[in-house]
Amino acid sequence: MTEDLIIRKSGRVGHISLNRPKVIHSLNLEMCMAMTDVLLEWKDDDSVDAIIIDHSEGRGFCAGGDIAMLRESGMNDGKEGREFFYKEYQLNHLLFEYPKPVVAFMDGITMGGGVGISQPAKYRVATENTRFAMPETGIGLFPDVGGGWYLSRLEGRLGQFLALTGARLDGAECKEVGIATHYLPSEALQEAKERIAEKPDRIEGILGQLSDTPPEARIVKNLDKIDRLFASDDYEEILADLEAEGSEWADKERDTLGTKSPQTCKVALRQLKEGAAMETFADEMRNEYRIGYHVLVRHDFLEGVRALIVDKDNDPKWNPATPQETSDALIDEIFASLPDGEEWEPLA
């Protein structure tokens, strides 16, 4: 077991709290494996009727994965990073298929890996503190942990917009677009958890009773623009449409995209297009593992993490530097099947 998690039973509920407050509870390999082990144990435990996933303290639920380790691994043979992706995606898939109700409390920053362990939950609780994002295009990664499944199933083109720009949604916006199922004031969370532990057969009613009316969701006024200007699965067409629009909003989003890895933006668009057609979540995770396997050791990921997280100069030198130079052949390489014995598989 790892000290980075607090694992216990509360009443008839299995309770997992992420416990790495200094790094906003970012997931590492040990956490993913320990969560998987205890979820498998609780799956067949008649004294556990539901699962709660939350965080111990601090300003976020989960800011992502162990980016420093992934970069270190990518600069070498990629083996450790690929193992992390493999085990993390098995955890994501286990949660997606889990036979008992899971309640995820997305209080505070919920990004990357935090999305992967909250979106499969039947009940996804946002608060006034929630900040949801998939910001991977900014570091040359891609919206993984099931992003190709969840984002592609949002209404209209919102998923493509979030995947490309890394835009943040607050709790009210998450509730409005279906990323969250409930919106509770943060001061009601403790009561919610205590009541769920006592009566896990009444989760829906408990969350409903404690729910608050969220403030106006600001994203709503931009949905028509998002659907129109992010309509294409061709990245150059999106940029051209934003350029032609010429409005303040379109210029701001075009400038945002100008800071992102062109390679990653093209990967994300294809990932969501393919994800929308996937029949099973396992198919999605297999596809994402292929992408992660290849992207981990490529220039843009190593350079993106250097620029935004290591050196913090916020000036990544992408290669290829432009969308036009980012060929279809390059993207095909990133989506290519893996050698025998290397493909991702869900837990037996």
pLDDT digits (tens, 9 = 90+) for 231-261: 999 999 999 999 999 899 999 999 999 999 9
pLDDT averaged over every residue in the chain: 96
Higher pLDDT, 236 or 66: 236
Whether 54 shows a pLDDT value over 90: the answer reads yes
Whether 80 shows a pLDDT value over 90: the answer reads yes
| Helix (H) or strand (E) run with residue 247 in it | none
Count of H-run helices and E-run strands, the chain:
16, 10
pTM: 0.97
CA dist., res. 162 & res. 158, Å (int): 6
* Superfamily of the domain at 5-334: 2-enoyl-CoA Hydratase; Chain A, domain 1 (3.90.226.10)
The pLDDT assigned to 1 comes to 65
**In terms of Cα–Cα distance, which of 84, 103, 67, 83 is closest to 207?**
103
CA dist., res. 203 & res. 123, Å (int): 8
- Our CA dihedral for 76, 78, 79, 84, rounded to 10 degrees, sits at 130
Alpha helix segments (H runs only) across the chain: 29-43, 67-74, 79-96, 113-118, 147-150, 158-165, 171-177, 189-198, 203-210, 223-229, 235-245, 248-257, 262-277, 281-295, 299-305, 328-334
Can you give the residue ranges of every domain in the chain? 5-334
For 158, the token pair is 């919102």
CB 106 within 8 A of CB 125: yes
> Using the 8-state DSSP alphabet, how is residue 63 labeled?
-
CA dist., res. 7 & res. 13, Å (int): 11
Q: What is the pLDDT of residues 164-191, one digit of tens each?
A: 999 999 999 999 999 999 999 999 999 9
CA dist., res. 204 & res. 181, Å (int): 10
Active site residue ranges = 65, 113, 136, 144
